[in-house]
């Protein structure tokens, strides 16, 4: 047996612990095991619990010039079902090391699987050493299989018993790496599923904007792919792509706590519309009653009723208008001078101070106070995400997600950041957000804008110093929005 010291194993363990690529790591372990035992072939199998089978992950046969799996050519062999017809399956099922001098003369196991492989590939399998790879709970997660140990003269010989412990140690290193990768993948899956649950929670709160985040993610994925395909200098490093997409998924998570009365407000008056309508209808009825009771005031009552009718028409028109010019706002302010009679004989203003403020909003549906409340969603987003642990490549997710309303010239919110503080991830996220907001078909307060007109606005905003002109132009050129 070759000398194989504890120091050698320790050095291998250290070098493998640095390796982040699982394919490279398993390849190194398999080659180390084959070199130690001077064997002709080796295979690493990964257990698939969902389908209860072993998948070929890496396979080497020196004498046949075969090297496939991992980063090499794809292995086309079908998975190995866990039956007694394959020694690797027996190893996995029994969680037991198997060392056979010659598979053709052994009566311990059914080696018809190995013999079938030999007949198909003009090969002669003789000695075999098969070691299970266990996780920390003792569950088999893979198998390391070595075939045909060779003497110094190149003859096939049995695997020496003393190899088993060392190969088992190498298999343990592989198992630890597989387990760690699975744990990392499980954590990643939990995080991604949590993100989608939170986005769905936002969507279910309101019928409006339900597709906004999904649209943005689709635009982002297509745009990143386009940057890769064109090999543009601004393309994202591979490790930055998923964190960026996660920031897109999470950018509006703060809307979970924005009042629905603000977030879902389809018109300027919102719920106040019914109150004003009822108030005016009662006032008109009271005017008619007064005219009947006092015929001498009939002419005056008729004028008052007409004024109320005209006021209601003006209010209805203004409530849903996309934009109110100055003269219309002046007319609405005049309504504050009108009053309404109540059933109990009292007199109240036609519009309260809050209703007048709402109906005279020049553009959109939100008052300044409501807009400030709506804008807080980015602060809520930051608060929520900063309570979570985003490490490594995902460290910047909270910052990117909560900065999507910042502009390069410092005129955005909430922190009034400037270009030096806004990386390309935030710049792109902001462009995607504005583009979808302009072209969205499910906004209650405005019709969708044609995409060519939306790009005119984006370029105008870039000219004003708010957006990144290069990214706007690239996004338009990419067609990722189509």
The CA distance from 267 to 393, in Å, is: 42
User: Residue 331: which residues within 8 A CB-CB, separation 6 or more?
Assistant: 314
Mean pLDDT, rounded, of the chain: 89
The CA distance from 192 to 457, in Å, is: 33
Q: What integer pLDDT is reported at residue 108 of this predicted model?
A: 83
Crossing angle of helices 212-229 and 469-478, in 10° steps, is 90
Average pLDDT over residues 105-131: 84
Report whether pLDDT(2) > 70: no
> Which one of 3.40.50.10240, 1.10.3720.10, 1.10.3210.10, 1.10.760.10 gives the CATH number of domain 206-259+374-478?
1.10.3210.10
User: Residue 412: which residues within 8 A CB-CB, separation 6 or more?
Assistant: 405, 406, 430, 466
Residues 221-245: tens digit of each pLDDT: 999 999 999 999 999 999 899 999 9
User: Residue 275: which residues within 8 A CB-CB, separation 6 or more?
Assistant: 355
Average pLDDT over residues 369-376: 93
Tokens read off for 73: 């050519």
Residues 238-291: tens digit of each pLDDT: 989 999 999 999 999 999 899 988 888 889 999 999 999 999 999 999 999 999
With beta carbons less than 8 A apart as the criterion, state whether 111 and 87 touch: yes
Tokens read off for 171: 């298999």
Residues 397-428: tens digit of each pLDDT: 999 999 999 999 999 999 999 999 999 999 99
Domain 6-183 has CATH 3.30.450.40: yes
Q: What integer pLDDT is reported at residue 182 of this predicted model?
A: 76
Higher pLDDT, 437 or 16: 437
Conformational region of residue 224, where left means phi above 0, alpha means psi within -120 to 50, and beta covers everything else? alpha
Counting residues of the chain whose pLDDT is more than 70, the rounded percentage is: 94
Pairing of strands 53-61, 80-81: antiparallel
Q: Give the confidence band of 9 by pLDDT, cuts at 50, 70, 90.
A: low
With residue 325 as reference, give the H or E element that holds it.
none
User: Range(s) for CATH 3.30.450.40 in the chain?
Assistant: 6-183
User: Range(s) for CATH 1.10.3210.10 in the chain?
Assistant: 206-259+374-478
The CA distance from 469 to 475, in Å, is: 10
pTM (predicted TM-score): 0.69
Residues 21-48: tens digit of each pLDDT: 778 888 888 998 898 899 999 999 999 9
Average pLDDT over residues 451-470: 96
Q: What integer pLDDT is reported at residue 433 of this predicted model?
A: 95
Q: Give the confidence band of 1 by pLDDT, cuts at 50, 70, 90.
A: very low
């Amino acid at each position: 047996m070759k000398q194989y010291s504890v120091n050698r194993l320790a050095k291998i363990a250290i070098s493998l612990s640095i390796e982040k690529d699982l394919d490279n790591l398993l390849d190194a372990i398999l080659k180390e095991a084959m070199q130690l035992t001077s064997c002709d072939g080796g295979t690493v199998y990964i257990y698939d619990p969902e389908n209860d089978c072993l998948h070929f992950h890496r396979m080497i046969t020196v004498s046949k010039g075969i090297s496939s799996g991992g980063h090499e050519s794809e292995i086309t062999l079908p998975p190995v079902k866990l039956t007694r017809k394959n020694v690797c399956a027996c190893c996995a099922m029994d969680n037991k090391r198997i060392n056979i001098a010659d598979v053709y003369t052994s009566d311990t196991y059914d080696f018809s699987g190995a013999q079938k492989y030999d007949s198909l590939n003009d090969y002669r399998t003789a000695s075999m050493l098969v070691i299970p790879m266990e996780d920390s709970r003792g569950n088999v997660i893979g198998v390391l299989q070595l075939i045909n140990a060779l003497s110094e003269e190149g003859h096939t010989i049995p695997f020496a018993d003393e190899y088993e412990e060392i190969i088992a140690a190498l298999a343990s290193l592989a198992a630890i790496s597989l387990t760690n990768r699975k744990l990392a993948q499980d954590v990643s899956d939990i995080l991604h599923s949590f993100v989608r649950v939170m986005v769905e929670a936002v969507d279910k709160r309101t019928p409006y904007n339900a597709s906004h985040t999904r649209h943005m993610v689709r635009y982002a994925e297509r745009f990143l792919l386009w940057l890769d395909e064109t090999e543009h200098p601004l393309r994202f490093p591979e490790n930055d792509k998923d964190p960026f997409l996660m920031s897109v998924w999470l950018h509006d998570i703060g809307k979970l706590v924005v009042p629905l009365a603000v977030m879902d407000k389809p018109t300027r008056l919102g719920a106040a519309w019914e109150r004003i309508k009822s108030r005016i209808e009662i006032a008109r009825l009271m005017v008619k009653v007064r005219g009947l009771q006092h015929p001498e005031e009939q002419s005056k009552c008729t004028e008052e009723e007409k004024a109320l009718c005209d006021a209601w028409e003006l209010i209805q028109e203004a409530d849903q208008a996309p934009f109110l010019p100055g003269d219309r706002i002046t007319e609405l302010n005049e309504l504050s001078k009108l009053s309404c009679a109540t059933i109990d004989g009292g007199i109240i203003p036609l519009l309260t101070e809050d209703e007048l403020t709402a109906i005279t909003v020049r553009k959109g549906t939100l008052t300044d106070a409501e807009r400030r409340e709506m804008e807080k969603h980015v602060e809520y987003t930051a608060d929520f995400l900063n309570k979570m642990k985003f490490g490594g490549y995902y460290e910047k997710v909270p910052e990117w997600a909560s900065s999507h309303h910042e502009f390069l010239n410092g005129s955005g919110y909430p922190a009034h950041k400037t270009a030096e503080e806004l990386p390309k991830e935030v710049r792109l996220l902001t462009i995607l957000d504005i583009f979808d907001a302009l072209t969205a078909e499910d906004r209650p307060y405005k019709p969708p804008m044609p995409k060519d007109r939306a790009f005119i606005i984006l370029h105008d905003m870039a000219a004003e110093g708010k957006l990144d002109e290069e990214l706007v132009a690239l996004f338009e050129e990419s067609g990722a929005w189509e």
